[in-house]
Structure 1
Amino acid sequence: MSLTLYDALVPNWLQILGSVSQLVDKADAACAGEEYYEGDILEARLIEDMLPFAYQVKSCWVHSALALESCKTGHFSPHMAPAPDSLGGLRDLIVQAINGLEAWDAEELNAIAGNDMVFTIGDKLRMEFTVQNFLFGFSQPNLFFHAATTYNLLRMHGLQIGKRDFLGALPLKG
């Protein structure tokens, strides 16, 4: 059996997005139970010069569904709009990401794997990839980084979560 681009990315990204969705739900439940203040969670940072929790969750959407959608045009730029200002808004963004990934057809993604892909930040930065190299070498590491940071911020704030919460639904046999 050969592994396609779709097979190597989409199921794994859905697993990680599912775990991020559950992490946001756990944060929301802790805030509803008045254990935590939502604003403190949304603005939580590991260190002062790092972007906050809300940005980390938003970036999971950016580096999954938005990145894949950008592969159709061959151009990706960071999404510069502010992150949602509520846990509910972040949850909606992750649901949108999951729905976006689930809408992809394997043949459609595999067919564009070798196409040109350009990453730009205004006129400051331009990097050229193939779609496959962009997804594996840029988007996937970013997705994992922001998902892990989301998890770490919640752990740092004392939410009762563990490694299984980060792993999400495992792709078990049969």
Structure 2
Amino acid sequence: MALSMYDLSVPVFSRGLGQLTHLLEKSLAHARANDIDPATLVDARLAPDMLTLAGQIQRASDAAKLGVARIAGITAPSFPDEEKTYDDLLARIAKTQEFLATVERTLVDGQEERAVTIKTREGEAHFTAQRYLLQFALPNFFFHVTTAYDVLRHKGMPIGKMDYLGKL
């Protein structure tokens, strides 16, 4: 059976967001049990010029919803980057997953050659939808999910590789 654009996008983004939720919930439970202020985690970053944990989650959310929307030729919902708490971040992930659940397979499958243009700091980048998904959207999404994981590990949260990967 051949892989489809839908199979390579919606379920992959959804699963990654689910694992991000797990990472947040596990680290929040640890923080509460050890008198660690969760706000210190939300605002944590690996380096001064990097996004905070909140920023990493916002970008992962954006990568998932915009990735699928651009391939499907639909408009993604707009979520202002105003999350300040764990609950806010979990709600952002849930809203993103809810959007992904509404995207019909027929809107995504067969769109491999759709033209996708994105604006970057360096200017516009032009892709086919397939190349956009495989060379930009998925790597960008997993960069931010991984960086969120790294921020939490850096702050001493007891999460590991299997928390990131999830049930196999």
- Normalization by structure 1: what TM-score? 0.85
Corresponding position of 1:6: 6
Superposed displacement of residue 70, structure 1: 3.2
Superposed displacement of residue 74, structure 1: 7.7
Corresponding position of 1:154: 152
CA distances 1:27-78 after superposition (whole Å, capped 9, x unpaired): 32234335321221011111111111100011111110232123344899xx
Counterpart-to-counterpart distance in 2, 1:53 and 1:41: 7
CA distances 1:72-112 after superposition (whole Å, capped 9, x unpaired): 44899xx8943411111110111112222222222220132
Indicate the percent of aligned positions where both proteins have the same amino acid: 27
Corresponding position of 2:90: 91
Counterpart-to-counterpart distance in 1, 2:30 and 2:22: 12
Q: CA RMSD in A?
A: 2.3
Aligned length: 167
Counterpart-to-counterpart distance in 1, 2:112 and 2:160: 35
Corresponding position of 1:20: 20
- Normalization by structure 2: what TM-score? 0.88
Contact 2:10 2:68 in 1 (8 A): no
Contact 2:69 2:75 in 1 (8 A): no
Alignment of 1:123-138 (within 5 A): 125-138=123-136
Corresponding position of 1:44: 44
Change (3 A) 1:168 1:83: farther
Alignment of 1:26-65 (within 5 A): 26-65=26-65
Amino acid at match of 1:11: P
Amino acid at match of 1:46: L
Return 5+ residue gaps in structure 2 as ranges: none
Amino acid at match of 1:8: L
Corresponding position of 1:110: 109
Please give the secondary structure, in 2, of the residue aligned with 1:145: helix
